[in-house]
Amino acid sequence: MRNYKVILVNLNSLPNLGFSPVFPVGANYVFSLLSEMGAEVDFIDFVQHPDLLETLDFLEKEFDCIAFSIRNLDSMELDGEYLVDYYLKITTLIIEQGRQQNPDVKILLGGSAFTAYPKGFAEVFPFDAAIDSDTEERLFQFIAGHIEEMQNDQLAGISSACPERFAFEIKYEPELVRAYLAIGAKQIGIPTRCGGRCPMQCIYCSYGLLDQNTHYTRPLNLLRNEIIQLYQIGVRELFFTDSLINISPEHARNLCLLLIELNLPELEWTAYARPTRNEEFLRLAALSGCKTLSVSFDTFSPAMLTNLKKGFSVHTISRFITLCAQYKVNLVGLLLFGGPGETELTIKETCEFANRFLEPGQLFFSFGIRISPGSGLEMLLGQVGNELLIPHFLGFDERIFDFVLTHLDGRFISMNLLLKISKWRAAYKAMSCKQTTHPQLSMVCPEC
């Protein structure tokens, strides 16, 4: 008897993606989940084993399924490189050679990029099944169904019941972790509660529509074991991969208390957070080794906060920034210029607030909002079709680039940033207009 065998390929470990590889949190979760089910998994990561991309030696073993995980299609920026053709070239090569070895192999596709663009992927990618939500249940059903379909007396079944969501320990292979540490990816991710799920309704984001189950939390005893496991491997900076670490104040509090109790020397953590007036959270964050809280403010204009449906006010933002300074929690604020209704006045309000409350190193910004399937922005604009693998951006007044440079304090503008803005502007100019059903909004798209 042998176990069901899966080759799990992390496509976001390919070279020349145009952005720095990050530790494959989602693919590693699936690796751990498959192992928990009783499957045998060969985890292929090209950061760890770059030679495998040329040799494809991993296809010379026995296997039943090849699973591809895709985290990013592009950098989401105006001048981003779009990777669909690159991914398709590599997956086709692996599938063709894999089917020479095993003509009956099943091809499985998943990852956050597929979850966001399922219709577009279905049109261009060759796969037999896909996981776009409810990962645990769908993966369990797929493997159980495939085993039954094969009718192989020599093949052992998987676990009799699907593992409970987030209720098992995630495995971190030391060699894989160290491979990412070696390339400078110091932050190793741990999902502490509900991964990418988010209850907020930001107009450009589709996470809340894809999966609104935000109440799942991972048991603290499992988090304790995983933190210690990573620390022993040599990790000194954790990234808690919740969409927002403080969605649940109680869980955030318990996590901070766990880290304080562990008291591991030099261990720091970072996370995305929602601006809050909860002073206890920031006090405990500081005591537990919080290195940075990243916050997608997007704007400091009251009108634009409403347009973007951010769900918090300028008053809450200013109180949050004050508390971060009080407890010496480093803050990184993210701004997004060019949303619906953006004008010189709203940009002036945002820039004047940033000039007053933030310092260099605390402010990062970009221009243009990528239109995601299922987002409130897509609904506002009207259906744009299934071609969303080709990026569409919300159109905006090109003078917005100049408005920002006019009103933002010069201490935030470096030479490198000016060069980046020049690239964004050039990319925006090269885009062509697309029609929309909204009388006051437009879309732009690269010529592909």
Percent residues over pLDDT 90 in the chain: 67
Residue-wise pLDDT for 209-235, tens only, equals 555 555 678 899 999 999 999 999 999
pTM: 0.92
Measured between alpha carbons, how far is 109 from 101 in angstroms, rounded to an integer? 19
Long-range contact set of residues 124-132: C-beta below 8 Å, sequence gap at least 24: 124/84, 124/88, 124/389, 125/87, 125/88, 125/91, 126/91, 126/92, 126/95, 127/68, 132/210
Average pLDDT over residues 140-146: 90
Rg (CA), the chain: 23
Residue-wise pLDDT for 302-312, tens only, equals 999 999 999 99
Residue-wise pLDDT for 310-363, tens only, equals 999 999 999 999 999 999 999 999 999 999 999 999 999 999 999 999 999 999
Half-sphere exposure for 226 (CA within 13 Å, toward CB): 28
Output the CA–CA distances (angstroms, integers) from residue 185 to 23, 129, 151, 189, in the order listed: 7, 32, 44, 10
Does position 207 have pLDDT exceeding 80, yes or no? no
Best CA proximity match to 366, nearest among 330, 339, 390, 384: 339
H or E element, residue 419: helix 415-429
442 secondary structure, DSSP code: -
Residue with tokens 């995630």: 170
Measured between alpha carbons, how far is 191 from 112 in angstroms, rounded to an integer? 14
Contact 239, 269 (CB under 8 A): yes
Structure token pair of residue 39: 């499957």
What are the two backbone dihedrals, phi and then psi, of residue 194, each rounded to the nearest 5 degrees? Answer: -145, 35
Contact 185, 23 (CB under 8 A): yes
Measured between alpha carbons, how far is 418 from 29 in angstroms, rounded to an integer? 39
pLDDT for 183 equals 94
- Mean pLDDT, rounded, of the chain: 91
Does position 365 have pLDDT exceeding 70, yes or no? yes
Residue 273's CB: how many other CB atoms inside 10 A? 26
Confidence of residue 157 (pLDDT cuts 50, 70, 90): confident
Contact 170, 135 (CB under 8 A): no
Residue-wise pLDDT for 66-92, tens only, equals 999 998 888 888 998 888 899 999 999
Does position 415 have pLDDT exceeding 50, yes or no? yes
Does position 385 have pLDDT exceeding 60, yes or no? no
